Amino acid sequence: MADEAEISDRDSVARELGEQPIASLMRERGLSRHDLVVASRHAVTHKMIKRAETGRRLTPHSKDLVVAAFNAAAETSLGAAELFSY
């Protein structure tokens, strides 16, 4: 039987998906996490944006909020498929 450390390692690998396209798009446009939080009309946090950038798997609702915040800050209309690789 697998011990807790092995299970934890497997779970973290499945959740950590590496830097996402949103991170490079934010850098290209000179946007910070704070810019997205301020531009959003919804309750988006700095932590949520950081998780999106680093590839931490988001719930579909959170993902939609981040996409809307990015589009508001960057004045674009990109979809989730263009901002995330999962």
3-state secondary structure 16-84: ECCCCHHHHHHHHHCCCHHHHHHHCCCCCCHHHHHHHHHCECCCHHHHHHHHHHHHHHHCCCCCHHHHC
pLDDT in the model for residue 1: 53
- The widest CA-to-CA distance across the chain, in whole angstroms, is 51
More confident residue, 85 or 6: 85
The pLDDT value given to residue 16:
80
Pick from 80, 81, 69, 83: which is nearest to 28 by CA? Answer: 83
pTM of the model: 0.82
Higher pLDDT, 7 or 57: 57
> SS3 for 16?
strand
Q: What are 24-64's pLDDT values in tens digits?
A: 999 999 999 999 999 999 999 999 999 999 999 999 999 99
Q: What local confidence, expressed as pLDDT, does residue 66 receive?
A: 98
